[in-house]
Structure 1
Amino acid sequence: MPFDAAAYPVLDRKALLQYDKILVCFSGGKDSVAALLHLLEIGIPRERLELHHHLVDGDGPTRFDWPVTHAYVSAVAEAVGVPIYFSWREGGFARELWKTNAPSAPVTFETAGGRRITVGGNGPANTRRRFPQVTATLRVRWCSGVLKIDVLDIVLRHDPRLQGRRLLVVDGCRAEESPARANYSVFETHRADARTSGRRHIDAWRPIHAWREGEVWNILARHGVVAHPAYQLGWPRTSCRTCIFNGEDALRSLEVGFPPVFEALATDEALTGLTIDRELDVRARAARGTAFPEVLSRPDLLAIADGRAPLPPVIVPPSEWRLPAGAFKNASAGPA
């Protein structure tokens, strides 16, 4: 009888092993790390798992994302013995931001043997020239859709090694993060599913959807996985360094800790003619904030986060693990 994951109120190890591959959306944030560690704790073999990370800036210099993120997710993948695949929209955030009467850029992704495949780039022409807005609507908060969600969909639909297989896509979304995420389904058919034609069977699962933040940090502590440097600097969440959800304190920290990055963001915002926030520009918002103490006192962490210093080990003995400064902060802005 064909396996029907929807019949399982809880996807336990027996149910999960019916999938050929389990793909973990791996941003490097605490929740994606927790989701991966949870799968390992319940006994999913490493050979069934693979991590997928989307390069927000494309395969080039880092401008909007944290420069250390590529090294961090790669190091965690190597440390736990799970392969990682990178994918990106050509030109990344900057190309999409300044798109003028042009189609969205093609997507490139890594596949077996280190080979790269490029797909798309022939869609209808349109103009962007505005930052994403803080909203749950992906058409307006376009960074999440264009640079992450749509990219993975393209990988699932076009990577030859994933066709004709039974796949499970796992992410670390949690209900506690926002009202919108609280309404996400824990288990559902994935958008890229094509089971009726037999091309691929894809489900999506959010195994830590009901977890509180404390449970997330606890599983990292049990395994000794050091948090992303952004958390160590005091950021309450790890996404892009110039994320539109950055609150006033985070923007002030960006201005103090990474002045060229902040100036570039403020300049780009002014050039679009529209503020990222509905009321104030980033300079005004930063002026209302207070820099995180670690930004003022830890130049070593600033250098690591900026990619100017080597990343220390990402796994330490659990007895040496420390809760990062950004933990349990009531962020002034969070995921929609």
Structure 2
Amino acid sequence: MTLLAIESAATAEVDLAYITEEGTPDLASYDRIVCFFSTGKDSLASVLHLLELGVPASKIELHHHNVDGDPAAGEGLMDWPVTLAYGQALARHLGMEFQTSWREGGIEREMCRQETRTAPVVFYKDGVRIETGGVSGPLGTRRKFPQKAASLSVRWCSSASKIDVGVAYLRNDPKFQNQRTLVVTGERAEESSSRARYATFEQHRADGRGGKFARHIDHWRAVHSWSEAQVWEIIERFRLQVHPAYELGYGRVSCQFCVFGSKNQWATNRAIAPRAFGRIAAYEQDFGVTIDRKHTVGEMADLGVPYAAAVGIWVERAMATTWDAPIVVENWTLPAGAFGESCGPT
């Protein structure tokens, strides 16, 4: 192994880490690996890459952030209804632990916030509900959807419902104390100029290796240098069914009602989920602030055309909250959304 100095973009410091001759972290040196798992193609490719590098499935935790909050609380607002069930089915097939966390009330509560605090983060530990935060933060008002921007203070959905939630989980679950943990995420340089500048390997912002609890946490963007073609190739090697949104024609899986959605995606959303679309449109009118800087979501949909593939069984599966389709596909083919409109992030 070669001892290399890796600059940490998160801390603006230099972290020393053992890197193998192949340029990957010394995966065997970690007690556990946590993959923050959106269920999209890039996070899935990252997980499969770990398996091909020889990491036992039993060592990997797939961790999903429920952006709409507690899935038991009822109908969500932003995400694909099937995402949670699909992620659970993948984890069962791969033999991996599956965990979730969320901001109480999800994106909807945060965007409706008016002179209140940001809600606590919730996760479960051995069947016991754990809440952290939400009691001493500043009062604040949003009353608008996240906006299209690179800054996370403006595009706050990523920070409030994913990044900060993940940090709270890592800092507050005792299992990470006195342990070496590797966090794996699926950002790729090809996605945007901003993501191209991300460090491939760095100390995670939840790291506390020098503190009281010796919480050593590194962060590896496992497919940062990969092309989209490489992502689809590894999924094809495992013959895994991808998220239904790709089958409908979407080129990227984030929230169904992602603020970066194209006019065709808004047209498709309106066609396959008219009730949820109506809720989004009503919030725009209530706030007096649109998601797009120039158009309402209704106007965006009017400018677009629904994806031709967004019909039939895949619509049913995407809009369901259960998963009963095969996870392994013998006659695997690229989905309709492969190499299509990604529409974000910046």
TM-score bracket for the superposition, by shorter chain length = over 0.9
Q: How many angstroms does 1:62 deviate by?
A: 2.2
Change (3 A) 1:10 1:69: farther
1:159 aligns with 2:180: no
Q: Which residue of 2 aligns with 1:185?
A: 199
Q: Which residue of 2 aligns with 1:85?
A: 99
- What 5-or-longer segments of structure 2 have no aligned partner? 4-14
Distance in 1, matches of 2:306 and 2:209, equals: 50
- Alignment deviations for residues 205-262 of structure 1 (CA, whole Å, 9 cap, x no partner): 0110010001001111100111100111111111111110110000000111111111
1:286 aligns with 2:297: no
Q: Which has the higher helix share?
A: 1
Q: How many angstroms does 1:115 deviate by?
A: 2.8
Q: Which residue of 2 aligns with 1:299?
A: 312
- What 5-or-longer segments of structure 1 have no aligned partner? none
Distance in 1, matches of 2:267 and 2:324, equals: 24
TM-score, normalising length from structure 2? Answer: 0.91
1:70 aligns with 2:84: yes
Change (3 A) 1:310 1:80: closer
Which residue of 24, 30, 38 maps to 1:27? 38
Q: Secondary structure at the match of 1:44?
A: coil
Which residue of 53, 57, 63 maps to 2:68? 57
Alignment of 1:255-274 (within 5 A): 255-274=270-289
Distance in 2, matches of 1:22 and 1:271, equals: 43
Q: Which has the higher strand share?
A: 2
Which residue of 261, 284, 291 maps to 1:246? 261
Identity %: 45
- Alignment deviations for residues 161-198 of structure 1 (CA, whole Å, 9 cap, x no partner): 11121111100000011111011000011111111225
CA RMSD in angstroms comes to: 1.7
1:126 aligns with 2:140: yes
Q: Which residue of 1 aligns with 2:118?
A: 104
Q: How many angstroms does 1:308 deviate by?
A: 6.4
Aligned length: 328
CA contact (8 A) 1:134 1:244 kept: yes
State the one-letter code of the partner of 2:121.
Answer: V
Q: Which runs of 4+ in 1 moved over 4 A?
A: 9-14
Change (3 A) 1:308 1:116: closer
Q: How many angstroms does 1:94 deviate by?
A: 0.9
TM-score, normalising length from structure 1? Answer: 0.94
CA contact (8 A) 1:22 1:168 kept: yes
Q: Which residue of 1 aligns with 2:27?
A: 16
Which residue of 150, 163, 169 maps to 2:164? 150
Which residue of 186, 189, 193 maps to 1:172? 186
Q: How many angstroms does 1:5 deviate by?
A: 5.8
